[in-house]
Structure 1
Amino acid sequence: MNWQGMVRRVIWLAPENGFFFIIDRETVQLLSAEPFAEVTWASHYNLATGRPVEVPGMDYSTESQFVAPSPYGAHNWHPMSHHPETGLVYIPTLEIDYLFEGNSKPHQWGQWNTNTTYSADLMGDDAQDQKDIRQAARGFLTAWNPRDQKAAWRVHRDLAWNGGTLSTAGDLVFQGRGDGYFEALDARSGASLWTFPTQAGIVGSPMTYAIDGEQYVAVTVGWGGILGQTYGLDLGSGLQPPPSRVLAFKMGADHELPPLKPARKRPKPPPRVTDDMSILSQGAAVYAEYCQRCHGQFAVSNGRIPDLRRSAETVYSAFNVIVLDGGLEQLGMPAFKDVLSSDDALSLKAYLIDAANDDWEQRPVSAQ
């Protein structure tokens, strides 16, 4: 690229920490490091030393702090793309408010050892709390101009977890969205030009190819990954989770996706175990620490992994065998007897049955 009047061979990098780096790939000199997303942990980078200048008070080892970016990063694994004609880099961007809390508990083999705590207080006590927490996770498609070291435009996404980007010579940028749409945007302005409802969210990256001179664009459809699992999005549509698949598009095609199948009838939960808030709070804390990364925030699953509020009676009757002894290890559910006691399992069961009853009572009768 032309950098300050000189052509430099460079590396462009938009890592999780929120700064867009331009590095001379021959001398390894740091040429630029500007934030492309919300960043609170550092004010800037010292170009002479290549080190960040940290913001005082953001060290959460002594006191909990909201720090941006979150552990999911400002840009995760989803590939960005570059358009040589516009000069822009198109970055799937995340801005998530996240409370970091220090944790001094000892190392636990096979568990989440990041020296941070998943706070049960963040799980929310009602629908509004849950909505507020989800809205704190914001997604964008950022068109970054490396030459000007700033964004040319940004497009807001309803969900933070979206797919990688593909930019084409036709001045298009393709991206799959977490809310279940595949979209083509104007590479220069960010204006939406075309969308297709894919029935499921997308985190994969588009690609393009040609057969006999006809161009196709294909993308893998299926909303998974760590944030897809933990998000806590209720599939309250009355339909089964959409299948994961590859979709291919070309100009003039008119195929439609087959309709989704009705969801299986939800089992009525057993009666609440207790109204003792100390037990329910303990169960919420256990769930936040050990369960929500797979089964979703607020005990709400996206359907790829079982929603524990809608478990069959056989699951509750064999709860300790499953949770503590690993009765379903062959299906990917590990045993937790090394880190959880029978009292922990009892409180977790009480919490899940309580959440199941809340879910049953809050849904319209027609959905039951």
Structure 2
Amino acid sequence: MNDKKRAFLATVLTVFAFVTLIAGCGSSEPGPGDPGWIDSERLLNADNELENWMSLGRDFQQQHYSPADLINTDNVHDLGLAWEYDARTPRGRVNRGLEAIPIVVDGIMYTSGAWSIVYALDARTGEEVWTYDPQVDGSFARAECCDIVNRGVQVWKGRVYVATFDGYLVALDARSGLVLWRVDTLTDRTRGYSITGAPQIAGNIVVIGNSGADFGVRGYITAYDLTTGAEEWRFFMVPGDPDNGYEHPEMEMAAETWDPDSDWESGGGGTAWGQFAYDPHLNLLYIGTGNSTPYPIWFRSPSGGDNLFLASVLAINPDTGALVWYYQTTPGEIWDYTVTQNLVLADLEIDGSSRQVLMVAPKNGFLYVLDRETGELLTADNFVRVTWATHIDLDSGRPVLTEQGNYEDEPKWVFPWDIGAHSWQQMSYSPDTELVYIPATDAGMLYTSYDEYSFKPGEWNVGIYYLADSLKSDLLIARDPVTQEEIWSVKLSGVGNGGVLSTGGNLVFQGNANGNFVAHRADTGEILHQIPTGTGIMAAPITYVIDGEQYVAVMAGFGGALLDYFVEENAAATYENYGRILAFKLNGTDVPLPPKRIIPPITEPPVRSTTVESIEDGGQLYGKYCAVCHGGIGGERMSLFPSLIRMASNTHGLFNQILLEGLYEPNGMANWSDILTAEDAGAIHDYLVSEQESAWRAQENLN
């Protein structure tokens, strides 16, 4: 046999062996010692495995804290880059945000990115082990309020669970990334549902919720068998039309808090898209629910009512799907004050007794501490400026409302704004300092109600105008959850700063929208070290130890609700905003900065035969359907979506194909032919050509 034949045979045998291995991985059941093997015993003993980060919040308490202290206040100034992985958006021109929290087990990092892609990486080097692309349906980009993001996976007993933006829950083999099962979680694919949140393991089930309340959907969570993907139960967050009956007893109870003649067609909202928690000792699954559809209760439930279970924390028995207790933070919710922020479990001493508590800092500006066994409210106070309520009555558990919060008859400036005093970016609790660390925003908004409202399929169905918001100030706040005393706060630059990690090294880590990765002293807030990355960071960091060396890692990439509206201080205004996974260690190197952002010049637009009426009509249509992403009427703003007054000649030629035929739908620019006619598209095009003509002439005159 000659050398060429030997080489060919060796190649064939190698490929055959690899395919056989992968096939075996896909067909045999994983067991202890296999990649991705996390079980209850390991998770309950997470403090004994500092080399791992085994849940979104590290352990079952979801505190976003690690006892690891090899990196500490004495040496954190030596922290630098260990490795970087390129996780840029694979589809279209828009680099989407990265919001996931990685999971690390036995040297492998599992995480997710834009378009629900899953990555398995070597946690020491960042080398790729495998990736999984679920090929999300691009038409679902129409159903995103806040970017095509994914907030993480769960890893359990050799499987990686991920929910896709277009509504599927998928179980992957942790060894290979091969699909083990895939189920459709959506009850109605004609509505504006999507999924951006991570699943939650609770006993023998995996649970997933959904997003889409701003478009008019009815929120729910669904539980599936971990091994087979078979549906076990479903829990709706708000009732449907009582004339159609109730899916489970809790809906009959909830319906009593709604007007019988509510606007059932709008769905009601209440979607659960945040970070859940599960207490294996109490066998309770904790869910935070979302905002209303539409926001104004005078359209949604005209006679008023608490409108359960909007803006609530629910404790559910995962074996049966039955409600054990609930606490509603914002009865009759009208401000988009979701409770989809991360839920943190801890044991605190309150009034001389040890209490098992759940802590949450929702959008509404109050930090709540609840008994997680009973739902009893223990403490609550505002952590930023709040004008919709004066305080929380600890006896009734209800907010004491102000007239300033009621915008039914006239516009009102209300604090916090709709993005919230605390959005989805994770807060942390350190049992060392006994403080919570909240990434907060002090901002208000002019809430202005529609005069009339009716549900419109495929459109935003919030019932308010977005006319103005106040100056915004992001803060990192350290607060005692028992006394509700603020211990320290640090003002941050930019808007949309990242989630938080606290560690046993007396450190708090946070990535910022301005592209810095920052280490604070946990007890005082003093900034000890800043690492410029050139990439805005929204996600919370994690930490893990390999062979005696501690790493701190974070998903970097700006986006989310501010993808289309950010400020000059944000790194995305200066640098290309592509996704990266960054891992740091002591004595690491500098982080390479991305290339500078280049804004293309405005070119001379094509000549079109237009009328004043067509341009005016097009401007109104553009403002209603396009400006939310592409920029405001009469100019531009900081947006990572393409500016349509900078269209090239070939884009003008394809305008109707893009808008009405879905030419760019795979890239996230969906088809609008269900709402817009050819005449509408022509009017929008006339308006954009007129705007581009004016902007081009101004540019040429300036030059």
Alignment of 1:97-116 (within 5 A): 97-103=444-450, 104-116=452-464
Q: Distance in 2 between matches of 1:89 and 1:212?
A: 30
Contact kept in structure 1, 2:535 and 2:571, CA below 8 Å: no
Aligned residue for 1:178? 513
Aligned residue for 1:96? 443
Q: CA deviation at 1:311?
A: 1.8
Asked if 1:30 is matched to 2:365, the reply is no
Alignment of 1:181-330 (within 5 A): 181-231=516-566, 241-257=576-592, 260=595, 263=598, 265-270=600-605, 285-296=620-631, 299-303=636-640, 305-330=641-666
Q: CA deviation at 1:337?
A: 3.8
Contact kept in structure 2, 1:242 and 1:260, CA below 8 Å: no
Amino acid at match of 2:378: L
Amino acid at match of 1:257: P
Contact kept in structure 2, 1:46 and 1:53, CA below 8 Å: yes
- Alpha-carbon distance change, 238 to 75 in structure 1, aligned in 2, over 3 angstroms: closer
Q: Distance in 2 between matches of 1:238 and 1:16?
A: 26
Q: Distance in 2 between matches of 1:154 and 1:328?
A: 45
Amino acid at match of 2:683: L
Give the match's secondary structure for 2:466. coil
Q: CA deviation at 1:26?
A: 2.5
Q: CA deviation at 1:269?
A: 4.0
Give the match's secondary structure for 1:354. helix
Q: Distance in 2 between matches of 1:274 and 1:353?
A: 11
- Alpha-carbon distance change, 173 to 181 in structure 1, aligned in 2, over 3 angstroms: same
Contact kept in structure 2, 1:234 and 1:301, CA below 8 Å: no
Larger radius of gyration: 2
Asked if 1:354 is matched to 2:702, the reply is no
Q: CA deviation at 1:326?
A: 3.4
Contact kept in structure 1, 2:645 and 2:688, CA below 8 Å: no
Aligned residue for 2:387? 40
Q: Distance in 2 between matches of 1:7 and 1:237?
A: 46
- Alpha-carbon distance change, 185 to 345 in structure 1, aligned in 2, over 3 angstroms: farther
Over residues 61-99 of structure 1, what are the superposed CA-to-partner deviations in whole Å (9 max), with x where a residue is unaligned? 322222222221111111111111211111111223222
Alignment of 1:109-128 (within 5 A): 109-119=457-467, 122=468
Q: CA deviation at 1:188?
A: 1.4
Amino acid at match of 1:86: T
Aligned residue for 1:80? 427
Q: Distance in 1 between matches of 2:442 and 2:692?
A: 29
Q: Distance in 1 between matches of 2:442 and 2:617?
A: 30
Contact kept in structure 1, 2:573 and 2:638, CA below 8 Å: no
Q: Distance in 2 between matches of 1:360 and 1:144?
A: 54
Give the match's secondary structure for 1:43. strand
Structure 2 unaligned spans of 5+: 1-347
Amino acid at match of 1:329: E
Alignment length, in residue pairs? 352
Give the match's secondary structure for 2:405. coil
Contact kept in structure 2, 1:60 and 1:100, CA below 8 Å: yes
Q: Distance in 2 between matches of 1:245 and 1:274?
A: 46
Moved more, 214-223 or 69-78: 69-78
Q: CA deviation at 1:347?
A: 4.7
- Alpha-carbon distance change, 88 to 168 in structure 1, aligned in 2, over 3 angstroms: same
Q: Distance in 2 between matches of 1:165 and 1:172?
A: 10
Aligned residue for 2:353? 6
Over residues 195-229 of structure 1, what are the superposed CA-to-partner deviations in whole Å (9 max), with x where a residue is unaligned? 11111101111111111000011111100111233
Over residues 157-195 of structure 1, what are the superposed CA-to-partner deviations in whole Å (9 max), with x where a residue is unaligned? 222201100011111111010111111111111111111
Q: CA deviation at 1:34?
A: 0.4
Aligned residue for 2:57? none
Alignment of 1:336-355 (within 5 A): 336-340=672-676, 342-343=679-680, 346-347=683-684, 349-351=686-688, 354=691
- Alpha-carbon distance change, 360 to 164 in structure 1, aligned in 2, over 3 angstroms: farther
Aligned residue for 2:68? none
Contact kept in structure 2, 1:269 and 1:310, CA below 8 Å: no
Q: CA deviation at 1:233?
A: 5.4
Relative contact order, higher structure (CA 8 A, sep 6+):
2
Q: CA deviation at 1:289?
A: 3.1
- Alpha-carbon distance change, 363 to 214 in structure 1, aligned in 2, over 3 angstroms: farther
Contact kept in structure 2, 1:220 and 1:245, CA below 8 Å: yes
Q: Distance in 1 between matches of 2:615 and 2:442?
A: 31
Q: Distance in 2 between matches of 1:273 and 1:236?
A: 38
Among 59, 67, 74, the alignment partner of 2:406 is: 59
Give the match's secondary structure for 1:112. coil
- Alpha-carbon distance change, 155 to 362 in structure 1, aligned in 2, over 3 angstroms: farther
- Alpha-carbon distance change, 18 to 256 in structure 1, aligned in 2, over 3 angstroms: closer
Q: CA deviation at 1:348?
A: 6.4
- Alpha-carbon distance change, 43 to 115 in structure 1, aligned in 2, over 3 angstroms: same
Identity of aligned residues (%): 35
Give the match's secondary structure for 1:230. coil
Moved more, 318-327 or 21-30: 318-327
- Alpha-carbon distance change, 238 to 292 in structure 1, aligned in 2, over 3 angstroms: closer
- Alpha-carbon distance change, 180 to 294 in structure 1, aligned in 2, over 3 angstroms: same
Give the match's secondary structure for 2:415. coil
Q: CA deviation at 1:253?
A: 1.1
TM-score by length of 1: 0.83
Q: CA deviation at 1:329?
A: 2.2
Aligned residue for 2:490? 155
